């Protein structure tokens, strides 16, 4: 069996910087493009830094035709700053992180009220707002507690395109169906695992991410929404590489590295459920329609031939362990 995808997109990707960027960027090259996260150290808050980072990504990708949809770390903006961002090639939108909620987010938003003028101007200009939607509450409740913030944003700014990033709960799906100006991304791991896979037995640090995996009912709801072709649900890997020494350590860094196996594993899942015809919209069609994107013309064919996932990716003095490290998955990309 084969599945051919036109211009697959990753709507939420971490590529890091420096030697880590050089290692992991080519491993996302099967995608036609991706929305690139700005939470570097320091975060990318202005267009000049965004352009420079985009160029470093281009260099790391080599000859690969890969569209970089660049984001800026959300802070309060003036009208002039917004206009400058909009006029910068490659700019896609702003990424809002609640202060201190995830990797390199210490400079995020502490008081959303203070940013309302910026959000209003974004609404008027059609600039999307991408949100890491978690509170600082109990870890299993953080997304659920943040849903009221999404509700307020959706009602206060009804024409603002708001993307609920990497949703993990059935409750988030219910909210997605309530407001037309909401869309959402979901990761590979949140379609597959629950918290029990992360910590139910021996701790598996390479499955630990934020938002943390939730209950079976949440996982099943997300999977069914994807398989049923929810029109405002998009694939966003949130592939988040960390050095192996930072994952297999006290204070384990949050992030699951899935970029090199995401498309084969998605093909395996959708084919197994008789939903191969829904995969195109999940990995490209919905994003292109919602955001008006025209990515690079790239065709990827996947087939039901097994692939062995490497135990570790290493280069440039870096080591990164992927999801399914050392295991076989039943689909691969046809060369």
Angle at CA of residue 77, ends 102 and 145, nearest 5°: 35
Q: How many residues comprise the chain?
A: 335
Q: Is the dihedral of CA 212, 213, 218, 224 positive or negative?
A: positive
Q: Which of 141, 238, 277, 281 is catalytic?
A: 238
DSSP letter assigned to residue 239: B
238 annotated active-site: yes
Q: Measured between alpha carbons, how far is residue 244 from residues 22, 39, 175, 200, 319 in Å?
A: 16, 19, 36, 22, 5
316 backbone φψ class: left, alpha, beta (φ>0; ψ -120 to 50): left
162-164/129-131 β-pairing: parallel
Q: Give every CB contact of residue 87 below 8 A, 6+ residues apart in sequence.
A: none
The span from the CA of 280 to the CA of 269, in Å, is 13
Q: Measured between alpha carbons, how far is residue 34 from residues 8, 296, 335 in Å?
A: 9, 11, 21
Q: Give every CB contact of residue 117 below 8 A, 6+ residues apart in sequence.
A: 76
Q: Which residues are catalytic?
A: 238
């Amino acid at each position: 069996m084969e599945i051919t995808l036109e211009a697959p997109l990753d709507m939420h990707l971490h590529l890091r910087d420096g030697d880590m960027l050089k290692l992991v960027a080519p491993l996302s090259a099967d995608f036609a493009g991706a929305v690139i996260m700005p939470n570097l150290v320091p975060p990318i808050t202005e267009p000049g830094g965004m352009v420079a980072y985009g160029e470093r990504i281009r260099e790391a990708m080599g000859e690969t035709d890969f569209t970089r949809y660049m984001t800026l770390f959300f802070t309060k903006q003036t009208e002039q700053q917004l206009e400058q961002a909009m006029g910068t090639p490659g700019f896609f939108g702003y990424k809002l992180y609640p202060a201190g909620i995830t990797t390199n987010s210490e400079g995020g938003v502490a008081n959303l009220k203070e940013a309302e003028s910026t959000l209003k101007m974004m609404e008027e200009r059609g600039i999307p707002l991408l949100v890491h939607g978690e509170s600082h509450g109990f870890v299993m409740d953080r997304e659920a507690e943040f849903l009221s913030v999404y509700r307020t944003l959706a009602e206060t700014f009804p024409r603002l395109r708001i993307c609920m990033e990497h949703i993990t709960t059935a409750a988030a799906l219910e909210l997605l169906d309530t407001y037309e100006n909401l869309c959402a991304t979901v990761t590979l791991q949140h379609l597959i695992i629950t918290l029990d896979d992360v910590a139910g037995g021996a701790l598996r640090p390479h499955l630990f991410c934020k938002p943390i995996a939730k209950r079976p009912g949440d996982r099943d709801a997300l999977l069914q929404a994807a398989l049923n072709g929810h029109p405002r649900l998009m694939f966003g890997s949130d592939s988040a590489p960390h050095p192996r020494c930072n994952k297999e350590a006290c204070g384990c860094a949050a992030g699951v590295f899935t970029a090199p196996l995401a498309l084969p594993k998605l093909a395996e899942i959708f084919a197994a459920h008789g939903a191969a015809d829904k995969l195109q919209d999940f990995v490209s069609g919905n994003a292109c329609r919602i955001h008006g994107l025209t990515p690079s013309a790239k065709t990827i064919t996947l087939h039901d031939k097994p692939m062995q996932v490497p135990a570790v990716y290493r280069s440039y003095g870096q080591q990164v362990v992927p999801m399914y490290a050392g295991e076989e998955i039943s689909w691969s990309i046809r060369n």
